[in-house]
Amino acid sequence: MKFNITFDRDEDGVWIVECPAIPGCVSQGETREQALDNIREAIALCLEVRAEKGLPLTIETQQIEVAA
């Protein structure tokens, strides 16, 4: 499965990565690569837990355009 993820950095320079399609699926890493590895693991675990609980695996996400 393919998922969109977001990257951000906190005030200490730690990479924060999130999968918007899976509620609560967030991870972090000292480097971008470490954060990417960690979110892959987090996604797999979140999907497993959601399946065990009978929840939908993902929620709907959509891109929209906003004038700025």
Biggest alpha carbon–alpha carbon distance for the chain: 42
pLDDT at 68: 86
pLDDT at 57: 95
For the chain, the residue count is 68
Report the C-alpha gap between 51 and 32 in whole angstroms.
28
Which pLDDT tens digit goes with each residue over 8-29? 999 999 999 999 999 999 999 9
Report the C-alpha gap between 51 and 8 in whole angstroms.
28
Q: ∠ CA(24), CA(42), CA(13), 5° rounding?
A: 80
pTM summary value: 0.88
